[in-house]
A and B are shown apart, each in its own frame.
Chain A
Amino acid sequence: MFSYGIINEYAIVCDPSKFPEQIARLDPNVQPSRYKFPVVGPFLLRTLRKIKKVIRKGRVTALKFHQERIQMHFDESNQYEIFDNDTIFVHCTSPGPFNDAKVKYLFQSEQQLDLYLLFAPPVTISMSMLGYLEAARQSNRLDMKYAEQLYSAIHERNPSDDVTEEKKESLPVNEILKGIVFPFTLEEGTNQKLVSLLNQAIFLAIGDMDPMIPYKWLKSNRLSMLSIPGSKVKSYEQMEKMILNGKELGYSEGFIEMFRLLKTKLEILKEK
């Protein structure tokens, strides 16, 4: 009857931002070098920690027979490990999700959309939101005027400074979306690390003239963490912090200006 891992489920039905946020490592004495996304609850962690023979010498580079035993070679160590010749090696070394793709833009062109993450995994909410944006683009529901202001802020382009009539014309819709909707990648750098928060705010700001419409859509989307009763979007508050600490976070003036614009548009979502 004892239901292991229930807190895992309990935690996500509550407001995650009010909860102590949690990460875990396999061995408390080993400093991890990367961040991964599977949820490893208490029961699973306890099971994994039963394995005491953990070898940390880098990636395996060869499995060779030597004097009727098997030698395992590594890329980060000259030492090798020896195993009995009937040992079974389980190959779990595939790249897994994301496939090391180098993605710079999602709205590639007027003719092509690339599906990639807007947020940290799970993947499906990002794709659902891209579906919403694409449908809203097609049915002219996006707040493109505001989107263009966001674009101008980060690309330090001031439309009022443009001299010629030609330049005063709005940019193509796809060009604007390409310039303000960023893919979430596993690359380092603060801009990248906070991209989930930024993309959520941009989605709410441009998804419709009224931010309450994309907000309600997100709240009703089963794939969204916001569909969990009691959870809050907090984009307004996050933009406030990003304006305040933008420079320390490594953002350019243009980005900080964009956060200001987002904060203004999302005021209706304050404390939501």
Chain B
Amino acid sequence: MQVKKLGEKSSIIMSRKKSTLLACDYLVIGAGAASLAFIDTLITELPSVKIILVDKNSVPGGHWQHAYDYVHLHQPSVIYGLASKQLEGSWIKLILKLTLPWKHRASKKEIVKYYGDFVKEKIAAKNLIYYPNCVYDFEKGYSFSSLDETFSYEVKVREKVVNGVLGECVVPSQNPVKFPVDDGVIVMTPNELYKAYNDSKLQKWNKKYVVMGGGKTGMDAIVYLLNTMWVKPRNIHWIIPHDGWFLHYGDPWSRERALLRTNGDDEMALELLEKSSELVIILYIVCNISYHCFLMV
């Protein structure tokens, strides 16, 4: 709700600055995770910097606001977000809830609020002017306009234009299926599945589901069907176009270090990484026992 207010306030700014020339040090395109992490460090390092942030969405947070409501980070919150601001919140509060801080995986709601609060803080600090519901004109450059084309802006940029939408994450709710589907076939995005379930429109017990996709979204859908909707595994088919190696224990650079050890032999590197499992499983059990003994004490 607060974030929505932010968008409304910015709309007022837009109407006042209709057809005017703006000026800033950096013009940043996109208000997603990439742009905001960049802006955060830039402001920390250059406290007097002036930034204009242009985004096609109505609130900050990029793809997170379009993602399905049951999405959580697939990495620990402790290493995600902004350098200046904890995403996991107070460690003391987490520990009192018997949750290890590095075990916390932020939800969609937490992430969208986190980014919204950050943008509000930086607007208040006068580092940032935020233009939601606007699109940057890549062809013309140094200009953007509102989605409804009512307002347009020219920007004098003293340092650089920063493109934060190159690696933009595309989620199913924004990207309809790319193949022909006959009328009457029920295809749902994860967002629609969530809504249908929560509106009690799904007679879940006897339904059969086919999850199409073997990535993070597909995995989340499987977990949601099994653990929230209590669909029986036998009622779920899973279409996996291409199997992937997944990180099992959270170090994204493990493949590169293994490649260095195997002189670039990818097959050997993957084998090396996979074979080290037994020791980790033992450590897993030891750590679990230690942790729970500690809690009991």
Q: Does B212 contact A (CB under 8 A)?
A: yes
* 9-residue interface stretch from A19-27, A142-150, A158-166, A260-268: A19-27
Q: Hey, which chain A residues are within 8 Å of B178, CB to CB?
A: 93
Q: How far is the CB of A46 from chain B (nearest CB, A)?
A: 11
Interface contact B247-A22, CB-CB below 8 Å? yes
Q: How far is the CB of A99 from chain B (nearest CB, A)?
A: 5
Q: Hey, which chain A residues are within 8 Å of B238, CB to CB?
A: 51, 53-55
- Taking a contact as CB atoms closer than 8 A, the residue among A124, A139, A249 that contacts B80 in the complex is A124
Using an 8 Å CB-CB cutoff, how does the interface string of B112-129 with A read, 1 for contact, 0 for none? 000000000000000000
Q: Does B147 contact A (CB under 8 A)?
A: no
- Beta-carbon contacts under 8 Å, B164-188 to A: 164, 166-172, 174-182, 184-188
- Taking a contact as CB atoms closer than 8 A, the residue among B45, B220, B239 that contacts A132 in the complex is B45
Q: Does A114 contact B (CB under 8 A)?
A: yes
Interface contact B210-A112, CB-CB below 8 Å? no
Interface contact B260-A84, CB-CB below 8 Å? no
Q: Hey, which chain B residues are within 8 Å of A61, CB to CB?
A: 179
Q: Does A271 contact B (CB under 8 A)?
A: no
The residue in chain A whose Cβ has the minimal distance to the Cβ of B213 is A92
- Beta-carbon contacts under 8 Å, B23-39 to A: 33-35, 37-39
Bound complex: CA A222 to CA B40 (Å): 13
Q: Hey, which chain B residues are within 8 Å of A47, CB to CB?
A: 222-223, 226-227
Q: Hey, which chain A residues are within 8 Å of B139, CB to CB?
A: none
- Taking a contact as CB atoms closer than 8 A, the residue among B247, B256, B274 that contacts A197 in the complex is B256
Q: Does A44 contact B (CB under 8 A)?
A: yes
Q: How far is the CB of A155 from chain B (nearest CB, A)?
A: 23
Interface contact A3-B274, CB-CB below 8 Å? no
The residue in chain A whose Cβ has the minimal distance to the Cβ of B210 is A89
Using an 8 Å CB-CB cutoff, how does the interface string of B249-269 with A read, 1 for contact, 0 for none? 111111111111001101000
Q: Hey, which chain A residues are within 8 Å of B18, CB to CB?
A: none
- Taking a contact as CB atoms closer than 8 A, the residue among B82, B210, B284, B288 that contacts A88 in the complex is B210
Using an 8 Å CB-CB cutoff, how does the interface string of A151-179 with B read, 1 for contact, 0 for none? 00000000000000000000000000000
**How many residues belonging to A are interface residues under a CB distance threshold of 8 Å?**
126
Q: Hey, which chain A residues are within 8 Å of B170, CB to CB?
A: 94-96, 99
* 9-residue interface stretch from B6-14, B53-61, B153-161: B153-161
- Taking a contact as CB atoms closer than 8 A, the residue among B42, B79, B180, B240 that contacts A62 in the complex is B180
Interface contact B79-A224, CB-CB below 8 Å? yes
Interface contact A128-B83, CB-CB below 8 Å? yes
Interface contact B102-A194, CB-CB below 8 Å? no
Interface contact B248-A130, CB-CB below 8 Å? no
Q: Hey, which chain B residues are within 8 Å of A20, CB to CB?
A: 276-277, 279-280
Q: How far is the CB of B3 from chain A (nearest CB, A)?
A: 19
Using an 8 Å CB-CB cutoff, how does the interface string of B183-219 with A read, 1 for contact, 0 for none? 0111111100100000000100001111111111111
Bound complex: CA A100 to CA B219 (Å): 21
Q: Hey, which chain A residues are within 8 Å of B257, CB to CB?
A: 17, 21, 197, 238
Contacts A24-B248, A53-B234, A84-B208 given; does A222 touch B288 at CB 8 Å: no
Interface contact A111-B273, CB-CB below 8 Å? no
Interface contact A72-B264, CB-CB below 8 Å? no
Interface contact B81-A89, CB-CB below 8 Å? no
Interface contact B167-A86, CB-CB below 8 Å? no
Interface contact B188-A91, CB-CB below 8 Å? yes
Q: Does A219 contact B (CB under 8 A)?
A: no
The residue in chain A whose Cβ has the minimal distance to the Cβ of B187 is A89
Q: How far is the CB of B96 from chain A (nearest CB, A)?
A: 15
Interface contact A3-B74, CB-CB below 8 Å? no
Q: Hey, which chain A residues are within 8 Å of B175, CB to CB?
A: 94-95
The residue in chain B whose Cβ has the minimal distance to the Cβ of A58 is B241
Interface contact A35-B212, CB-CB below 8 Å? no
Select the residue from A56, A84, A87, A91 with max chain B CB neighbours within 10 A. A91
Q: Hey, which chain B residues are within 8 Å of A197, CB to CB?
A: 253, 256-257, 260
Q: Does B2 contact A (CB under 8 A)?
A: no
Bound complex: CA A2 to CA B266 (Å): 36
Interface contact A91-B213, CB-CB below 8 Å? yes
Contacts A85-B184, A131-B42 given; does A19 touch B291 at CB 8 Å: no
Interface contact B185-A193, CB-CB below 8 Å? no
Contacts A42-B284, A120-B252 given; does A112 touch B161 at CB 8 Å: yes
Interface contact A127-B259, CB-CB below 8 Å? no
- Taking a contact as CB atoms closer than 8 A, the residue among B40, B241, B274 that contacts A23 in the complex is B274
Q: Hey, which chain A residues are within 8 Å of B247, CB to CB?
A: 22-24, 36-40
Contacts A87-B210, A194-B259 given; does A127 touch B172 at CB 8 Å: no
Q: Hey, which chain A residues are within 8 Å of B214, CB to CB?
A: 26
- Taking a contact as CB atoms closer than 8 A, the residue among A35, A114, A131 that contacts B37 in the complex is A131
Q: Does B76 contact A (CB under 8 A)?
A: yes
Besides the contacts A7-B288, A90-B209, A120-B253, what 10 more A-B pairs have beta carbons closer than 8 Å? A31-B243, A60-B177, A63-B182, A88-B208, A89-B212, A93-B172, A103-B167, A136-B45, A138-B159, A248-B264
Q: What are the 6 tightest A-B residue pairs by CB atom distance, in nearest-first order? A: A131-B41, A92-B213, A20-B276, A135-B45, A21-B254, A7-B284
8 A-B pairs (CB sep. < 8 Å)? A6-B288, A21-B273, A32-B243, A36-B244, A37-B252, A47-B226, A55-B238, A128-B83
